[in-house]
Amino acid sequence: MQAFTYHRKGIPFFHQKTALEFQQDIYERYHEMVVRQSALHTADELWGRYPFQPIFDFAEKHYPKATAINILEIGCGVGRWIATLAKHYPKSTCWGIDYSYQMLKCANGFWVEGQENSVDLTDKGLDQQSQKGEELNNLKFGLAKAEKLPFEENSQHLVVNSFLLDRLDDPIKGLEEMYRVLKPAGKLIVISPLNFKKAAHWKMYYPASQFSTILEEIGFEILDWKEEVIVDEPLDGHGNLVRWKCLGFVVEK
Ligand SMILES: C[S@@+](CC[C@H](N)C(=O)[O-])C[C@H]1O[C@@H](n2cnc3c(N)ncnc32)[C@H](O)[C@@H]1O
């Protein structure tokens, strides 16, 4: 694994993030993004269910059978998926990588250091909630870019990511990195709402079938493909929501 430049509150930085990069990154806006992500991914009681469960339902049937494996989530946000995998595979080594220090600080505090997490969405008509953290000893979090992962070639058995691919400046570079770090026959599971932010990306990567060609050109074999993994993201106490129509795919190196 690549050496990190420095640590901040227990989070290794594999990318030297500048002050300008911090300033320009919407995911560093603590209250807007991190509180919302913590509410969605850790405060299931608020919604009476885990809103992102459809992702797990799509992915679970493809999880490897082996137990002592290396697992990587990229764009892990507050870490729910990689923490779930760390619990599913207690003998595994799990890493959650993200480009936002604020997301990682929240993830590490809650899943690794056992800190309580409080979310206040009373301005959305919801009760205030506190969740007790966990102390998972097979899980680590680090700051890096998806386009330059701090892992050796052929080192990971399973790589996952959700709601990341359409955020990347260069999705092909991201997929090539995922391919590079996977072991032969390692699996990549991706969920993306294809909610691109740039006209050029819509042109290059839409419709979803464009991705199947790109994946095959990189060298992946497609194992599963579903163009309607529906994720309903709740917005408030009245039950308003955003419906995300996601592409889900599972590929093998
Ligand atoms: C929409 S959030 C999704 C978080 C979580 N995976 C989920 O499904 O809710 C996107 C996440 O990707 C991270 N991210 C954006 N660009 C990234 C990049 N180039 N490399 C690594 N992480 C990135 C953001 O910091 C943020 O935590």
Per the CB < 8 A criterion, the answer to whether 46 and 121 are in contact is yes
pLDDT 10s digits, 7-47: 888 899 998 889 999 999 888 887 778 889 999 999 999 99
Closest residue to atom 10 of ligand 1, CA basis: 164
Q: β-strand 129-131 against 117-119: which pairing, if any? A: antiparallel
Mutating to test ligand 1, I would choose from 14, 24, 27, 73 the residue with most ligand atoms within 8 A of its C-beta, which is 27
| Residue 49 is assigned to a structural domain of this protein | yes
Q: How high is the pLDDT of residue 184?
A: 98
Is the confidence at residue 48, as pLDDT, over 90?
yes
CATH of the domain at 215: 3.40.50.150
Q: Which atom of ligand 1 is nearest to the CA of 174?
A: 19
Q: Which residue has the tokens 């595979």?
A: 89
Residue 73 covered by a domain: yes
Residue 75 near residue 161, CB atoms below 8 Å: yes
Are 107 and 77 within 8 A, CB to CB? yes
Q: Residue 146: CB within 6 Å of ligand 1?
A: yes
Q: Per the domain annotation, does 125 fall within a domain? A: yes
Per the domain annotation, does 143 fall within a domain? yes
Q: Which of 99, 173, 191 to mutate to test the pocket of ligand 1 (most atoms within 8 A of CB)?
A: 99
CB atoms within 10 A of CB 239: 10
Considering the domain boundaries, does residue 144 fall inside one? yes
pTM, two decimal places: 0.96
Give the span between the Cα atoms of 165 and 172, in whole angstroms.
9
* Structural domains counted in the chain: 1
In a domain, 89, yes or no: yes
The string of pLDDT tens digits covering residues 203-248 is: 999 999 999 999 999 999 999 999 999 999 999 999 999 999 999 9
Share of the chain above pLDDT 90, in %: 89
* Closest listed residue to residue 229, CA positions, set 160, 159, 162: 162
Distance 128 CA to ligand 1 centre (A): 25
Please give the residue range of the domain that contains residue 211. Answer: 6-252
Is position 1 within any domain?
no
Handedness of CA 152, 153, 155, 158 (dihedral sign): positive
